[in-house]
Amino acid sequence: MTAARRRRAAPPTRSKRRGRRGVVRQGPLRTHWLLLTALLLTLAATLLFQGYTQHLYDARPDQAATPAAAGTVPEAVRTGGPVIDTAGGQPRTAAPKPGTIALTFDDGPDPRWTPQVLDALKQSGVHATFFVVGTQAAAHPELVRRMIAEGHQVGIHTFTHTDLGTAPSWRRSLELREAQLTLAGAADVTSSLLRPPYSSTADALDDRGWSAVRQAGQEGYLTVLTTLDSEDWRRPGVPDIVKTVVAGPGNQGQIVLMHDAGGNRQQTVDALDVVLAQLKARGFRFVTVSEAVGMPDPVHPAGAADHWQGLALIWLLTGGGLVLDVLGWLLWAAGAVSVLRAVVVLVAARRHKRLRRRGWGPPVTEPVSVIVPAYNEIAGIEPAVRSLLASDHPVEVIVVDDGSTDGTADLVESLNLPYVRVIRQENAGKPAALNTGIAAARAELLVMVDGDTVFEPDAVRMLVQPFADPGVGAVSGNAKVVNRGGLLGRWQHIEYVVGFNLDRRLFDLAECMPTVPGAVGAFRRSALLAVGGVGEETLAEDTDLTMALCRAGWRVVYEERAKAWTEAPASLSALWRQRYRWCYGTLQAMWKHRGALAQQGQAGKLGRRGLLYLLMFQVLLPLLAPVVDVFALYGLAFLDPVRIVALWAAFLLVQVLMGVYAFRLDKERLGPLWSLPLQQFVYRQLMYLVVIQSVFTALAGSRLRWQRMQRYGSLQQPVTVDGPGAAQGTAPEPVGVGGYRARVHEAARNPGQGT
């Protein structure tokens, strides 16, 4: 190696690194959790309110209420007029004057039928009274304003068309107040007229309805019942509607019930012109309810407070509807994309398996330099190094001790193993340790290994076979979780086998591999030097390096037969720290290499395939996950719970099928998959929160410190390496490495031969 190359690969000093990065705030922010919580609570409140207004809306016809006992209804009310005032101690009623007809329309406004009713009334010069439903008025405030502008009278028909007789007192008050505020926000007016849904004539009042009428009177409302039901809600046909209305009045004044919403009202619209013409011909005068009973106009300008509260209520309803629409589209899109991803990943895995049967070309037998960066790895460094020396491929092992304080370097040196070199340096970080190892390596083919990883005997040999293709610059191996005990271990095992394994097969076929894991990866030394070695700008140096190689035109492939065993975090806090660093570092690398989106060749494949895939499935979809979960709870509460559970079961079935296939590909036992449903409920949420934390931290411009995982010594030593200087005694096999002893090759006894 030339002096220039050695200077280029040498690790930077700590002062240089500090100067380049500058003074930055360390550690994650806390305020974004408050923001996220506030957003989720706001979303939940919006969905609850939307569910209340939309899915507690009672769409039964007004006459569908079941009659009940009427023992408490005063006789004077039962035999009195249709307008009832219970504000005082003694209820009073009023009836329409003879020769007058007050047309009333319930359940609107409706964007299709209400304008047609208004047009017919305007053409005949008739004023009517419209009892509007609050949610309908909020959705179509322009129609309420048109009613007022054209001289019609408005009253309220509750907020969600609920049966006040069966509702508790608190909901009655809420229904009336919200309907009144909606009227104030929509048309800047208030009205003291109320028609309870499912009411009819005064003599049909029952005890429950009378209770609602009395409470409404105490809150300042006049209850308007009816004397003549057109029965247009039955849709009996235009002739029957006309006959019912025209034949009913006799010479008495009437309050006629019709509908401008609540279903198809074409028959009502068609009958209205005929009714108006025939009753006018008989000398009847059409008036509003207040005019019919001779009372002052009950509609008044709204106060400023009510008007603005009403506007806020309308905006909330409108925003809630928009949120539901957006969520609906997003959920459909996310579901479609997820299913498409599952299909593509499974097809790619099957094709990848067939392609691997063809081999890479002539066997690669040249020696390999294995670089092991180590910082306080005393718990696992010995089994890691011994497993490398047991490889059935010629290797030299370079342990770069990055300023360990636990005696890691001393332990490796005390083993006195052949073909193992220890290089000590001041603590400068993992990238600097790797660059030191690259500079000291003798071979062209390099394998980089974490200090907590144990290789299977054929892993190195399998890992370097793809280099038979001169276009291959790096190879990703197959990292396996060794500590699978407990739910957390099983969940990570499933994640490694299903998520990482299947995705890497897809990336390999698409030639856009974004990451060669630090636990098990191989590289061409010349390719590494050409891209400037391992960068220090991100916390995911393996992802950054892999993307740099892709952008330099090298192909990065996946060799699933190169298996290495690594220790996964054993606690939630350790898992959080590890994944937080991974995710944050991946975001850094994606941003650093965003220019690949506009490049051609191998770089373009990384940008337009790999980066977009990561953005979609590792950033955007996880960010939506809490919203999806909140919406799922909304669906269970307000939609069809059977349908929601069925959709969830279908999603889970897809995950299980992918898991089974991935486990079969990797020759793993299917037993751990029993915990997959629990993983979706618990572990998945944790991973989503990691992504959210990472994105918020990145947007805030904060930088994380390197967070090293605590080692527990789950990995055990492989069989003894017999040879000059080898340590004496027999050690147990690495946990989970099946058939380790039987597969130890003769080369394991002389691992450095040929280097």
Q: How do residues 324-358 score in pLDDT, each as one tens digit?
A: 788 778 778 877 888 888 899 999 999 998 888 88
Instruction: Give the residue range(s) of CATH 3.90.550.10 domains in the chain.
Output: 3-35+330-741
Contact predicate 734/457, CB 8 Å: no
Torsion, Cα of 484, 490, 496, 498 (10° steps): 140
Residue 43 has pLDDT above 80, yes or no: no
In the structure, how many helices (H) and strands (E) does the chain have? 28, 20
| Fold entry, domain 3-35+330-741 | Spore Coat Polysaccharide Biosynthesis Protein SpsA; Chain A (3.90.550)
Mean pLDDT of 659-678: 91
Active site residue 352: no
Question: Which residues does 90 contact at the CB level (< 8 Å), separation at least 6?
Answer: none
49 and 320 Cβ atoms separated by less than 8 Å: yes
- Rounded Cα distance between 53 and 317, Å, is 8
Given this model, what pLDDT does residue 754 score?
Answer: 33
Residue 383 burial (CB count, 10 A): 25
C-alpha span between 618 and 589 (Å, rounded): 13
Cβ contacts of residue 383 below 8 Å, gap of 6+?
A: 454, 715, 716, 717, 718, 731, 734
The predicted model scores a pTM of 0.70
Are the C-beta atoms of 136 and 110 separated by less than 8 Å? yes
pLDDT per residue as tens digits for the range 147-164: 999 999 999 999 989 889
Please, are residues 755 and 605 in contact by the beta-carbon 8 Å criterion? no
For the chain, the straight-line distance linking the first and the last C-alpha, in angstroms and rounded, comes to: 16
From 259, 307, 393, 493, active-site residue: 259
Residue type, 39: L
- Please give the Cα distance from 708 to 703 (Å, whole number): 15
Average pLDDT over residues 20-27: 38
Mean pLDDT (whole number) for 572-577: 87
- To the nearest whole number, what is the mean pLDDT of the chain? 84
For 370-398, the pLDDT digits (tens) are 999 999 999 889 999 999 999 999 999 99
- Tokens 């969830």 found at: 648
pLDDT confidence band for 741 (50 / 70 / 90) = very low
Percent of the chain having pLDDT more than 90? 58
Query: What is the spatial distance between Cα 326 and Cα 315, in angstroms, rounded to a whole number?
Result: 16
Q: 730 pLDDT exceeds 90?
A: no
Q: Is the pLDDT higher at 731 or at 350? A: 350
56 compared with 95, residue with greater pLDDT: 95
Q: Which fold has domain 79-302?
A: TIM Barrel (3.20.20)
pLDDT value at 621 more than 90 = no
Q: Is the pLDDT of residue 360 over 60?
A: yes
- Measured CA to CA, the distance from residue 423 to residue 410 in angstroms comes to 11
DSSP code, position 27: S
Residue 106 designated active-site: yes
Q: How far apart are CA 411 and CA 424, in angstroms?
A: 13
pLDDT beyond 60 at 24 = no
pLDDT of residue 173: 95
Least reliable range by pLDDT among 246-250, 410-414, 577-581: 246-250
Residue 664 has pLDDT above 50, yes or no: yes
Range of lowest pLDDT (86-90, 170-174, 549-553, 704-708): 704-708
pLDDT at 138 > cutoff 90:
yes
Band of pLDDT at residue 42, cut at 50, 70 and 90: confident
**Confidence band of 500 (pLDDT split at 50, 70, 90):** confident
Element (H, E) at 744: none
Averaged pLDDT, 642-666: 87
Average the pLDDT over 683-688 and give the result.
81
Q: Among the options 62, 106, 450, 544, which is catalytic?
A: 106
For 437-485, write each residue's pLDDT tens digit.
Answer: 999 999 999 999 998 899 999 999 999 999 999 999 999 999 999 988 8
pLDDT above 80: residue 190: yes
